[in-house]
Amino acid sequence: MSSVRAELKALLYGVKLALAQGYFTLHLESNALVLVQIVQGRARCPWSLQRDLQELLQARSFFKEVSHCFRDANKPDRLSNVGVDSGVLQCMSCFVICLDRSALCLLIRLDKPIGTFRFAWPCMRSLAFAVNPGSLPVVKMLAFFFLVSFLSRNIACTINDYFDKDFDAQVERTKGRPLASGTITGFQALCFLGIQLQLCYGVFLLVNELRFCSSTKFFIS
């Protein structure tokens, strides 16, 4: 069973690497006949392989065929050696190689900035009303609220796509989204969400300093 697990991890690693390089039409081959039958649904999957199998099947739309191939006995398989090392595989899956940057841009709707502007506009307008007549808002405050609006909108998009990925896959307009299409996995989306939350938390640490600077300037004026 350990050899089947190694082949499955190698197959999963190869699919992730191919998707990250922009190859979206794949043909999978494995020398493990049992694994081929499991992926094809003709054999029962052991519970120890369920997690990796589900992650592989999330990218099912990108490979149409899984076939069995033969190889010489005792021939080294570099991909299997890499795949069986769970530490290396986990590192690869966490945005080092296997996550396409363009998928992240689509996940946070970087090509549709109107959402960020809708978040930022009320803040900018309030800051403009708060200053003395004839004065301009503090640039640091404007930059702060715009950055918060940008991060908040990105976080909202990530959370929305994560919980709606199963529904999005059934809708023509949304089935091409990264999570719905399987370009990135739910685990990767959660890791990316954690990074965004950390960045947002770091930005909010500046609130007291910016408030003090803004209040001081308002008092002097």
Residue 195: predicted pLDDT: 92
74 plus 56 within the same structural domain: yes
28 plus 56 within the same structural domain: yes
Band the pLDDT of 193: cuts 50, 70, 90. Answer: very high
| One-letter amino acid of 35 | L
Residue 215: predicted pLDDT: 46
Number of domains in the chain: 2
Asked which of 45, 72, 97 is the last residue of a domain, the reply is 97
Band the pLDDT of 175: cuts 50, 70, 90. Answer: confident
How many helices (H) and strands (E) are present in the chain, helices listed first? Answer: 12, 2
89 plus 143 within the same structural domain: no
pLDDT at 219 over 60: no
pLDDT digit string, tens, across residues 37-70: 888 888 888 877 888 888 888 887 777 678 877 6
Q: What interhelical angle do 50-57 and 33-40 show, nearest 10?
A: 60
170 plus 134 within the same structural domain: yes
**Is residue 138 within 8 Å of residue 214, measured between CB atoms?**
yes
pLDDT digit string, tens, across residues 91-120: 334 343 345 567 888 889 888 888 899 889
Supply the range of the domain harboring residue 46: 2-97
The string of DSSP letters for 195-214 reads HHHHHHHHHHTTHHHHHHHH
Asked which of 70, 97, 124 is the last residue of a domain, the reply is 97
What's the pTM value of the predicted model, to 2 decimals? Answer: 0.52
Asked which of 42, 73, 97 is the last residue of a domain, the reply is 97
Distance CA 30, CA 7 (A): 7
10 plus 114 within the same structural domain: no
| One-letter amino acid of 148 | V
